[in-house]
Chain A
Amino acid sequence: MKARILFLVSILVVGGLLWSGLQAVHPFGEPNAAPMDDYFIANAQSEAAANNVVTSIVFDYRGFDTLGEGAVLFTAVISVAALFRKRGQH
Chain B
Amino acid sequence: MTGNFPYLVVGILFVMGFIGIVFEKNLMKIAIAVSVVEAATNLFIITLGYRSGGSIPVWTMAGSGSSRMVLPTPQALTLTAIVIGLATTALMLSFAMSIYRHYGSLDVRDVRRLRG
Contact = CB atoms under 8 A, between A and B. Distances in A.
How many chain A residues sit at the interface, stated as a range, is: 35 or more
Contacts of A84: 94, 98
A37 B48 contact: no
How many chain B residues sit at the interface, stated as a range, is: 35 or more
Nearest to A79: B91
Contacts of A73: 83-84, 87
Nearest to A32: B48
Contact of B76 (A51, A62, A72): A62
Interface of chain A, helix or strand or loop or mixed? helix
A31 B49 contact: yes
Given A7-B22, A27-B3, A80 B91 contact: yes
A84 B94 CA distance: 8
Interface of A: 7, 11, 15, 22, 25-31, 34, 36-37, 40-41, 44-45, 51-54, 57-58, 62, 65-66, 69, 72-73, 75-76, 79-80, 83-84
